[in-house]
Amino acid sequence: MKYISTRGLPSQDRTPRGFSDILLEGLAPDGGLYLPASYPRIDAATLASWRGLPYAELAFRILSLYIDDIPAADLKRLCEATYTEQTFGTPQITPLKRLDDGLYLEALSNGPTLAFKDMAMQLLGNLFEYELARRGEELNILGATSGDTGSAAEYAMRGKQGVRVFMLSPQGRMSPFQQAQMFSLQDANIHNIAIEGVFDDCQDIVKAVSNDLEFKRRHRIGTVNSINWARLLAQVVYYFAGYFQATSGRVQATPERVSFAVPSGNFGNICAGHVARSMGLPIERLVLATNENNVLDEFFRTGTYRVRSSAETHETSSPSMDISKASNFERFVFDLLGRDAERTRELFGATLAREGGFTLASDEFAPATRVDGFGFASGSSTHADRLATIREAWNRWHTMVDTHTADGLKVAREHLQPGVPMIVLETALPAKFAATIVEALGLQPEPPPALRGIETLPRRSTLMAADAEAVKQYIEVHCR
């Protein structure tokens, strides 16, 4: 499988790239995002043959379709080393919980940092270590986080050979538990940098550094943000795993269909759903849920994508979805536009820079929300909705959901259809966002035993202004 950029790459730089090239690369040199040259189609017989496979084996089958430059035996071993009961708490890895008739919760947050990002990041840690050893290279990972990405990356990379992590986070904006998780790591290859600003300032610094190609090459800068294709690919697997658990497997003329509801921020998680659907997984609707930061909900209602400023970005009680622009969204728009790289480059390059957003023509936008098109639906949620949903889930189903999952559940219930199971992706455990759970239920959510008392551990972090040059200097000094 070869990979292409959503912006077409300049003509002098059209060397086809394999998976292991883009694994370590992040953004494409033209500023676009990498996607496979095509999506492999899964026919009904193959789909049926995957039912019942252990998660690691399912992951191996799916990844194999996109990775042909890692020997199969090695890829299989990496999948098996990643998706273990020991790391993810259950043999199913992403067990499904039934809430109501046709309404399910898929648990994606039983990994080391209690958020779904572990699902991809744990694999990425193993892939990076493998690939760097194979090439005899080192990598300095530069990332931006509003909380969950950073801790997931650090727990995946800590102590790994040949890898250092430089993680930017907005000073004072993460939950106390998230801060404790990240800043308590004492591993020498982990650097926490707290930035005076919001998440998008952090993300802008990462982009600025990545766009300095000379610096990037000289210091072997890589990324683990959700723009990394390998992360997205790893996430495709649990859409299949959820599908198999929610459907019976009875032989029918047309395969059963399910819908997924996805608490969304940077459009990484739901973009993996879009890939799964494009491969032929029978997904009826991909229901996108936002919080008060409703950039994406607005797009799917209107066809207008309007990036918000830092000042317009709300600080909410589902903070991992507090984004003003969605870094993976370009991938979907590229597909929506029939993979027209020129039009994508115009929209996400010049038009966005000039006008702060764009509106698609109605014939361009129409397939986005049609079931015979891309199948998206959307909705948004407020703090009051979040509290009400957390209470209702607790009272009706004795289930404690975190604030992000609550946003997904709220919007999912607005899109239920008879005969189509709805799977809500649980993106974090309640213990990560305890304050809102206490507000809703008057109960303190308990973290798993291994993480109790983490708030009292000693911390390591460096405070810096939102200045890309200063961050570059810090990396110069600490990257050897």
Q: Compute the least distance from the CB of residue 118 to ligand PLP, in Å.
A: 10
- Sign of the alpha-carbon torsion through 209, 214, 216, 218: negative
Q: Please name the residue that has the structure tokens 């040199």.
A: 29
- Which x/- pattern over 71-110 shows residues binding ligand PLP (rule: CB under 6 A)? ----------------------------------------
The SS3 assignment for 400 reads coil
Contact 305, 344 (CB under 8 A): no
In sequence order, which residues have a C-beta less than 8 Å from that of residue 456 and are 6 or more positions away? none
Contact 164, 189 (CB under 8 A): yes
Task: With CB under 6 A as the rule, give the number of residues binding ligand PLP.
Answer: 16
Query: From the CB of residue 446, how many other CB atoms can be counted at a distance below 10 Å?
Result: 13
Cα–Cα distance for residue pair 117/109, rounded to 1 Å: 8
Among 2, 76, 117, 410, the one annotated catalytic: 117
Contact 392, 423 (CB under 8 A): no
With CA atoms as reference, report the closest residue to 18 among 73, 70, 69.
69
- Residue list 387-426, contact with ligand PLP (CB under 6 A): 404
Q: Residue 431 or 464: which CB sits closer to ligand PLP? A: 431
Contact 231, 255 (CB under 8 A): no
Q: Residue 32 or 268: which CB sits closer to ligand PLP? A: 268
Structural element, H or E, at residue 366: none
Choose one: 57-65, 265-273, 309-317, 377-385; the region binding ligand PLP (CB under 6 A): 265-273
The residue type at 205: I
Q: Is 122 in the site for ligand PLP (CB under 6 A)?
A: no
Among 28, 33, 107, 115, binds ligand PLP (CB under 6 A): 115
- Which x/- pattern over 427-446 shows residues binding ligand PLP (rule: CB under 6 A)? xx------------------
The residue type at 85: E
Q: Residue 103 or 108: which CB sits closer to ligand PLP? A: 108
- Residue list 293-322, contact with ligand PLP (CB under 6 A): 320-321
Q: Compute the least distance from the CB of residue 326 to ligand PLP, in Å.
A: 7
- Which x/- pattern over 206-245 shows residues binding ligand PLP (rule: CB under 6 A)? --------------------x-------------------
Phi (first) and psi of residue 291, to 5 degrees: -95, -150
Q: Residue 18 or 95: which CB sits closer to ligand PLP? A: 95
Q: Residue 25 or 322: which CB sits closer to ligand PLP? A: 322
Choose one: 52-60, 194-202, 259-267, 335-343; the region binding ligand PLP (CB under 6 A): 259-267
- Which x/- pattern over 360-389 shows residues binding ligand PLP (rule: CB under 6 A)? ------------------------------
Q: Residue 266 or 316: which CB sits closer to ligand PLP? A: 266
Among 26, 143, 268, 379, binds ligand PLP (CB under 6 A): 268
Q: C-alpha dihedral over 369, 371, 374, 380, to 10 degrees? A: 40
In this structure, are strands 357-359 and 190-196 parallel, antiparallel, or unpaired? unpaired
- The reply to whether 117 belongs to the active site is yes
Contact 100, 397 (CB under 8 A): yes
Among 32, 143, 222, 265, binds ligand PLP (CB under 6 A): 265
Choose one: 94-102, 262-270, 297-305, 380-388; the region binding ligand PLP (CB under 6 A): 262-270
Phi (first) and psi of residue 191, to 5 degrees: -120, 115
94 HSE (CA, 13 A, CB side): 36
Q: Is 263 in the site for ligand PLP (CB under 6 A)?
A: yes
Phi (first) and psi of residue 447, to 5 degrees: -75, 160
Active site residues: 117
Contacts to ligand PLP by CB under 6 A: 115, 117, 148, 226, 263-269, 320-321, 404, 427-428
